A = this chain, B = another copy of it.
């Protein structure tokens, strides 16, 4: 609507279906004039609806396992080829924990799964950046964004080993943000988004209640995927060139709330009425 990304080129990792955060971001980037490629795992492409998005945005899909260096090289090389030049932005929206999926609790972690959680949800970000860096694939003043969650700072029951992965993801944004900024003027940030009902998120037990709580705690309510897409556009645009190495809370205020009147109201009702709450 504003042509904020007119002429900009990008790569978007992690869109699956219309509920995906990366999906909404891709749609908005398209609206704002960007061209880009899309990448996800072959399995995700098969079971998701990425083709529909690709069509809509006139984007090519490049399948890749983001934990595999060679496949990441392919994504970047092919993207530069297709779009005839370096990219301006990259989105990392990738995360998965088998410990969570299999309901293995944090005091009983399977360490192979734990390593996988880190590899998929955090190290893949480093690999992506290292590949881009070695190929010199991102333009000066380009912008890289990864999606994070407040569990990186504060423990939420059941979020499990994903908390450690997000803490590491944000650390990678800082560590690589320093080097990529110094050498190539590329900026790297994470957005710490409200809990969002994606297809992946839907599987998490108790997420509805958590979303109700954060909705009532946040003065502006939870940020949804549409809000996120808008915010992400500003970070890809030329208007935020000096923002780097930051973790940016996009959550209706939740991160700086201790207790809201609305959440306390619900909580109190329980204390009054609940028989097994003592």
Binding site for B on A (CB under 8 A): 2-4, 69, 105-109, 111, 114-115, 118, 122-123, 126-127, 130, 133-134, 150-161, 163-164, 166-168, 170-172, 174-183, 185, 187, 194, 206, 209-210, 212-213, 218-223, 227, 230-231, 233-234, 237-246, 248-253, 255-271, 273-274, 276-277
A263 to B276, CA, bound (A): 12
- Measured CB to CB, the closest approach of chain B to A123, in angstroms, equals 7
Q: How many copies does the complex hold?
A: 4
Which B residues are in CB contact (< 8 Å) with A160?
175
| A178-B253, A270-B270 known; A114-B123 Cβ under 8 A | yes
Which B residues are in CB contact (< 8 Å) with A127?
111
Which B residues are in CB contact (< 8 Å) with A253?
177-178, 181, 187, 244-246
Which B residues are in CB contact (< 8 Å) with A2?
2-4
A257 to B259, CA, bound (A): 13
A156 to B250, CA, bound (A): 19
Which B residues are in CB contact (< 8 Å) with A260?
157, 178, 182
Mostly, the A contact residues are helix
A270 to B173, CA, bound (A): 31
Q: Which residue among A4, A114, A164 has the maximum number of chain B CB atoms within 10 Å of its CB?
A: A164
| A271-B266, A273-B269 known; A178-B152 Cβ under 8 A | no
A213 to B258, CA, bound (A): 11
A sample of 22 inter-chain contacts (CB < 8 A) reads: A106-B179, A126-B164, A154-B256, A154-B257, A157-B261, A160-B175, A167-B167, A168-B171, A181-B219, A182-B262, A185-B220, A209-B264, A209-B268, A219-B244, A220-B244, A231-B242, A233-B239, A244-B253, A245-B257, A266-B270, A267-B267, A269-B277
